[in-house]
Amino acid sequence: MKSSLPGEQPPSIFDRMRETLAPSGIPADDRGRMRMVMSSMILHIHPSKVAVRTLKFTYSWGLGGLSALLLVVLVSTGILLEMNYTPNPAQAYLDIVNLNTNVWFGGFIRNLHHWSGNLLVVAAVLHLLRVFFTGAHRPPRELNWLIGIAMLLLILGANFTGYLLPWDQLAFWAITVGTSIIDYIPLIGPALSRLVLGGPEVGAATLLNFYTLHISIIPVTVVMLMSYHFWRVRKDGGLSVPKAPGETLDKRLEKVTTIPFLVRKELAFAAAWIAIMVLIGMFIPAPLEGIANPEVSPNPAKAPWYFMGLQELLLHFHPVVGAVVIPGLALTALALLPFYDLRVGSVGVYFRSWRGRYLTLLSMGLALLVTPVWVLVDEFLIHWGDWLPNWPTWLSNGLIPLAVVALGLVMLDELIKKMVHASLEERVLVLFVFLFTALIVLTVIGVFFRGPGMELFWPWNMPVH
Amino acid sequence: MSTKNNEEKLTRRSFLKTLWGVIGGVAALEFGGVTLAYMQPRLAEGDFGGIIEVGSVDTFPSGSVTHIPNGRFYLSRLADGGFLAIYQRCTHLGCSVPWDQTAEQFICPCHNSQFTSDGELLNPPAPRPLDIFPVIIEDGIVMVDTSQPMQRASFEPSQLVYA
């Protein structure tokens, strides 16, 4: 800001205000632009300079940024939706219908919120995959990996609690089926279920509980964790640096100023995604079925799509194993990853090495083949309950089939250890790819191939109920 | 006081520090307890969750299954005249189980679990028979206490209530 010299016209009150609210333009020199990043509250999540290599779009795919953008869209549209919504079974459904038919842009705002929430699950999972496949979960970024997992769980929680709010048949039964899983948690299950539901089944108290979680507790926690996540990215030295297999990086990486080289990319990326989301919000309506009827379960009653992999597991295992033991083990293994898979030499190389890339494809192909076969065999040929009639079902239909599956995984691990002398990081990679692909296959089967009575049908031959 | 003694004896400073820590911990537990208690289910009297008057014993013939919607249960009267109030919620994942009169079974629409007219499990994935509510018969009137569903491992004749 210029100070006025004697005899010169002093700046007007409007000039002073403009200078305070919108400091004059972007400085022309590097040093000025770097200072601008440091002294701006929003921009200071970035360093003032970034390594040229980390700007490569096909390395990070902007997935963390997309997640953050979607969070902004969700908070903005969510606040608008709150103003036309009453969390009460008598009113909630009517409010949604009113929103769709009677409120200016009501349907558009709801669609935008619905699809952004669903896309956020996808973006966050892809972000996790990107980080794992480039080895970026390894030290020093292990704490940020854990924060990321916590946020992923909260995102699923936000989606799940939001799913109930329209109070239609879809919402009511998806939440009934989803929350029934809580009952199977050993010891605390029934008490926890009553606490979450506010009673023995989904009802008015559940709606109010979920509303409170959805609009305050979960978003506030996510925003706090997200700030921490961003801060840790900088503390851990920025993005992991992409490199080719076998390449060693120079000690001194070539750097450029954040303005304009990173910021303009982010702005273009955000603008493109906002345009995509607006188009989706305009043309694809969020689903809404008839008003919730606690007397009539639809057939089939399905959980939200992101839990259909879990529901598919429930068809093959006793609920304690399918809903508690397997997800618990998987989450624990995921959280512990950076503490046993910690060779940092391959950080920045997609799939660790050239051989890792072939192993990834191999493992993926194997899972694509084995998982559907396993589902079919378990559905039609294996009847543990009938074969071991006097055993408790948590053993005959739970731990025993789980042991069989675990044995298969151990054999896969032994096989690649013996056949290709795979290193620890390659074995971890193979198992991760196998299990994640299996989860995707189970989700696809659950969403598209399960019909009335949860029996298997071809998607193009699905009976209408 | 020597440094050696410091390690073994409880000094005033470390005593007060520990005391503050304990008081803080107790306060945190109390607030946690208050929150949990505050969030306990609030049940409405009279309707589902309370005692429901179903009707006179004579209106339910032996071998019949009657749906009582406001109590969320089926009043099943077996062939020998014994009453059983069966919670309509599937023990697998909580779907409402309809009574199929032609098959004379409860068949869950969600995962195809099947139950007999006394709620006994015929076909998994449900892990146990349908839950029941206590039946009270006074002066020929059938009443059902829906405050707490009772889990059971199998059907026992002792679960039946006779007029």
Q: Which among A177, A200, A318 has the least Cβ separation from residue B110?
A: A177
* Residue A228 clears pLDDT 60, i.e. is over it: yes
Q: Do B127 and A319 count as a contact with CB atoms less than 8 A apart?
A: yes
ipTM of the complex: 0.75
Residues A110 and B110: their CA atoms lie apart, in Å, by 29
Phi then psi for residue A144, to 5 deg, are -65, -30
Residues 6+ apart with CB under 8 A from A252: none
Q: Do B110 and A294 count as a contact with CB atoms less than 8 A apart?
A: no
B50 vs A: CB within 8 A: no
Q: Which among A295, A397, A452 has the least Cβ separation from residue B69?
A: A295
Residues A129 and A127: their CA atoms lie apart, in Å, by 5
Task: For residue A120, give the 3-state DSSP assignment.
Answer: helix
B153 vs A: CB within 8 A: no
* Residue A465 clears pLDDT 70, i.e. is over it: no
Beta strand B132-133 pairing with B121-123: unpaired
Residues A200 and A334: their CA atoms lie apart, in Å, by 33
pLDDT at A3: 54
Confidence of residue B1 (pLDDT cuts 50, 70, 90): very low
B93 vs A: CB within 8 A: yes
Of A94, A103, A60, A106, the residue nearest A166 (C-alpha): A94
User: What are the residues facing B84 on neighbouring strands?
Assistant: B76
Residues A292 and B96: their CA atoms lie apart, in Å, by 13
| pLDDT tens per residue across span A338-359 | 999 888 888 999 999 999 999 9
Q: Which helix (H) or strand (E) holds B106?
A: strand B105-107
* Residue A2 clears pLDDT 60, i.e. is over it: no
pLDDT (mean) for B138-158 = 83
DSSP A131-173: HHHTTTTSTTSHHHHHHHHHHHHHHHHHHHHHHHTT-BHHHHH
**Cβ atoms of residues B45 and B63 within 8 Å:** no
Beta strand B132-133 pairing with B83-87: antiparallel
Residues A180 and A183: their CA atoms lie apart, in Å, by 6
Q: CA separation (Å) from A90 to A85, A401, B71?
A: 12, 44, 19
What number of residues does chain A have? 465
pLDDT at B44: 58
Q: Do B109 and A453 count as a contact with CB atoms less than 8 A apart?
A: yes
| pLDDT tens per residue across span A19-45 | 777 766 788 888 888 888 887 877 788
Residues A74 and A273: their CA atoms lie apart, in Å, by 13
Average pLDDT, chain A: 90
Q: What secondary structure letter does DSSP report for A399?
A: I
Cα dihedral B44, B48, B50, B56 sign: positive
Residues B126 and B115: their CA atoms lie apart, in Å, by 9
Tell me the chain A residues in contact with residue B110 when contact means C-beta distances shorter than 8 Å. 173, 177, 297, 299-301, 454
* Residue B30 clears pLDDT 60, i.e. is over it: yes
pTM summary value: 0.87
Q: Do B95 and A455 count as a contact with CB atoms less than 8 A apart?
A: no
Residues 6+ apart with CB under 8 A from A89: A167, A203, A204, A207, A292
Of A354, A366, A465, A352, the residue nearest A413 (C-alpha): A366
Residues A52 and B127: their CA atoms lie apart, in Å, by 58
B40 vs A: CB within 8 A: yes
Q: What's the gap in Å between the CA of A320 and the closest CA on chain B?
A: 10
Q: Which residue has the higher pLDDT, B44 or B138?
A: B138
Task: Tell the residue number behind the tokens 């769709």, with chain if given.
Answer: A100
Question: In chain A, which residue's Cα lies nearest the Cα of B108?
Answer: A453
Question: In chain B, which residue's Cα lies nearest the Cα of A313?
Answer: B125
> Above pLDDT 70, what percent of chain B?
91
